[in-house]
Structure 1
Amino acid sequence: MLSASSDLQSQALATATALPARFYTGEGTAAVDQTAVFNRHWQYVCHSSQIADEGDYVVSVLGQLPVIVIRTAEGLRGYHNVCRHRAGPLAQCSGKGAKQLRCRYHGWTYNLDGSLRTATEMKDVADFDVSSVRLPALQVREFAGLVFAASENPPPFEEYVAGIAERLAVSGHALADLRFHQHLSYDIDCNWKTYVDNYLEGYHVPHVHPELNKLLDYRSYVTETKRWYSIQFSPLESGDDLYGSGEALYYFMYPNTMLNILPGRLQTNRVLPLPNNRCRVEFDFFYAVSADPSKDEVRRKRDLEFSDVVQDEDIQICVDVQRGLDSGSYVAGRLNPLRENALHHFQELLRSDYRAHSSSVGSKAAG
């Protein structure tokens, strides 16, 4: 997949072309993306309100790696959700009040510090030492009410979120005060990068999203890129029974996290790779709590309905684009420097990760 080194060279935005189709096709891309991208970077796991109390935990994935994050007396901890006995899950769904982690397959039990506590019927087994077994740990951080985790050696977290808190404060968004409302997910017949590419540009909005285009000011639509994230923002105008008026902020945090922030509302998206070159997009909706529950209910219902319309439009175009990428016809085209700068930013980060991966594989082969 990574053999053509010229495709991985950094490109200036003014003259950049998109990544070639081969980076979006074939089963080989999944293994490379897990090693080169998902294992090396921070990823959103949940909102802090979902694990507010000691013993609360969430089951998630980092790319295709099963993980569990739990709030303990010592703070947030995260582990591979893979028992060291025979790969069973420590938990199959999120929960509350855990005092320990018990494998659902054979009952091996772990302390909340990741150490093995008991191994069922293994007491008299020769050369087996309970104290030598530990769950692989994650790095976990909490920021603005959001919980992130990483499995290997990610960039410094302070660099990852630099400037976001200040931008949210200027816009009056307090994400930590929001509360979880609903979870939705969509399985889509496209590579996960195809979906991310689509998210990262407003270029298609007038052509694909007629109703969304009415709410946003396309002429004032601005995209900025930072070290590890990009932000798209626009003035927003809608009725009080939907979002009201203000500003729409769309954050993309490399490699697969999206924060869609509107007045009184946060929608998080996680784009996850699936087998057979498909992806799953997970949506969680969070809202501010007001003194008028009936009005809140109307706005939330309309938000979910509107979001579903936009998502259906995105799904259809992403499936069509994937079909074009798979066809063998597509040759990487030029990017629009004004409208596709965030897409270019994403693909440059991918190129960097792919170069590092290719170099690592080459070094191991030479050794």
Structure 2
Amino acid sequence: MTLRYSVDPDITVATTIASSFYRDEAAYAHARERVFARSWQWIGDAADVAEPGSLSPRTMLAGCLDEPLLLARDAAGTLRCMSNVCTHRANLLVGEPCRAEQIRCRYHSRRFDLAGRMTFMPEFAEARNFPSASDHLPQVPFGLFGSQVFAAVEPAAPLDAFLGDIRERLGWMPLDEFRHDPSRDRDFEIDAHWALYVENYLEGLHIPFIHPALNQVLDYHQYSYELHRHANLQLALARDGEMAFELPPQSPDHGKRVAAYYYWVFPNLMLNFYPWGLSLNLVQPLGVARTRIAFRAYVWDASKLDAGAGSGLDQVEMEDEEAVEAVQRGVRSRWYHHGRYSPTKEQGVHHFHRLLCEFMAHEP
């Protein structure tokens, strides 16, 4: 089946992606393979695999791709990402973070070294052409952004094509020094299509209308957008007297009172940088009308927590969820097919829809 969608590249005349995209089970399944399997997915931070001999199981996009992965750092210090599935009978290999000299399957005792090479298998002496390359653990494309780990099934482009513009803009930040604060982690589930949640994030047009507290600390009239190949930025400036970054001279934004860098990475990741650190939001599709959003906090300067745009995030989330669930009910209407874009405030949504159309049209 080929499902094609189109959005005019000229935002001043374009209409939004067809409403059938949010309702169709076939489109949802199509996106799973064409969008999510071909993009880079965040799989957590590397804190628990910092030492040689460390193993850490991960899941790539739980509820959607559901791919069992394993981060392994060998004795020489090389970090790898590989399948966490035994090549014998598909048993899951590692159940929790641990230290080990080898990987041993508890089902039939097949063993692998920390580079993923099969080293031992009982009762296979009479098997012909064994072992072969298929008996080793498949290596999975992966990369790092600071201490954050990204992996992909079959990426459409290198990781730097998705994150390179962010590295360049925020290169002055000591991302490796950001520390996870589990007390600030949250997980929310909503009755809405994942793309509707992303669209809501990608525009500031709604801020004065549904986020009154946030609107008091941001200078809405100076809110701006920058589009990159596979990511975009909403640059939020602070009102006078409100919390802002202390930007060094090497920052391209030196001299501006930046309240927040709201970065979105196609298709489902938000990297929200505040003076206190990073709020990372992963959008996890669970079905055509069900979505989980995982919030993870990485603190840089604890003295700046709970001030400015980076405060009251739970309240902002509740306001967003109410709006997105209302839109989900609306896109089911027989009389709604598509809308128009604000050329000044919805460039990010238009960018997202254009990328969706591009990836959905991809022929394997």
Same topology, TM > 0.5: yes
State the SS of the aligned residue for 1:202: coil
In structure 2, give the amino acid aligned to 1:60: T
1:89 to 76, 81, 92: 92
1:113-151 CA-partner distances (Å, limit 9, x unpaired): 2233344x5436745834441222211112333322112
Mapped to 1, the partners of 2:93 and 2:151 lie a distance apart of 18
1:257 to 254, 265, 269: 269
1:197/1:355 Cα in 2 relative to 1: closer, same or farther (>3 Å)? same
Mapped to 1, the partners of 2:271 and 2:88 lie a distance apart of 37
Asked if the contact 1:83–1:90 (Cα under 8 Å) also holds between the matched residues in 2, the reply is: yes
Mapped to 1, the partners of 2:180 and 2:271 lie a distance apart of 14
1:229-275 CA-partner distances (Å, limit 9, x unpaired): 10001113598999997430011111111100000210111111113
In structure 2, give the amino acid aligned to 1:79: M
In the other structure, the counterpart of 2:60 is: 61
State the SS of the aligned residue for 1:13: coil
1:91/1:309 Cα in 2 relative to 1: closer, same or farther (>3 Å)? farther
Asked if the contact 1:117–1:130 (Cα under 8 Å) also holds between the matched residues in 2, the reply is: no
Alignment of 1:39 with 2:37, yes or no, is: yes
In the other structure, the counterpart of 2:117 is: 115
Q: Compute the RMSD of aligned alpha carbons.
A: 3.0
How many residues were matched structurally? Answer: 346
2:166 to 135, 139, 164: 164
Which structure 2 residues correspond to residues 322-361 of structure 1 after superposition, within 5 A? 322-357=328-363, 360=364
Alignment of 1:173 with 2:173, yes or no, is: yes
Mapped to 2, the partners of 1:144 and 1:164 lie a distance apart of 11
| Structure 1 range deviating more: 66-75 or 177-186 | 66-75
Mapped to 2, the partners of 1:206 and 1:240 lie a distance apart of 17
* C-alpha displacement of 1:302: 10
1:71 to 70, 73, 80: 73
Show structure 1 runs of 5+ residues with no match: 361-367
Which structure 2 residues correspond to residues 238-253 of structure 1 after superposition, within 5 A? 246-253=258-265
In the other structure, the counterpart of 2:323 is: 317
Mapped to 2, the partners of 1:105 and 1:332 lie a distance apart of 52
1:197/1:118 Cα in 2 relative to 1: closer, same or farther (>3 Å)? farther
Asked if the contact 1:203–1:340 (Cα under 8 Å) also holds between the matched residues in 2, the reply is: yes
Asked if the contact 1:178–1:287 (Cα under 8 Å) also holds between the matched residues in 2, the reply is: yes
Show structure 2 runs of 5+ residues with no match: 247-256
Alignment of 1:271 with 2:274, yes or no, is: no
In the other structure, the counterpart of 1:363 is: none
Asked if the contact 2:57–2:95 (Cα under 8 Å) also holds between the matched residues in 1, the reply is: no
Mapped to 1, the partners of 2:77 and 2:186 lie a distance apart of 32
2:224 to 222, 225, 231: 222
Higher helix share: 1
In the other structure, the counterpart of 2:254 is: none
How high is the TM-score relative to the length of structure 1? 0.83
How high is the TM-score relative to the length of structure 2? 0.83
Mapped to 2, the partners of 1:137 and 1:346 lie a distance apart of 30
In the other structure, the counterpart of 2:50 is: 52
| Structure 1 range deviating more: 218-227 or 62-71 | 62-71
Amino-acid identity (%):
32
Asked if the contact 1:114–1:135 (Cα under 8 Å) also holds between the matched residues in 2, the reply is: yes
Asked if the contact 1:64–1:272 (Cα under 8 Å) also holds between the matched residues in 2, the reply is: no
In the other structure, the counterpart of 1:364 is: none
1:316/1:226 Cα in 2 relative to 1: closer, same or farther (>3 Å)? same
1:174/1:26 Cα in 2 relative to 1: closer, same or farther (>3 Å)? same
| Structure 1 range deviating more: 159-168 or 65-74 | 65-74
Mapped to 2, the partners of 1:339 and 1:353 lie a distance apart of 24
* C-alpha displacement of 1:219: 0.6
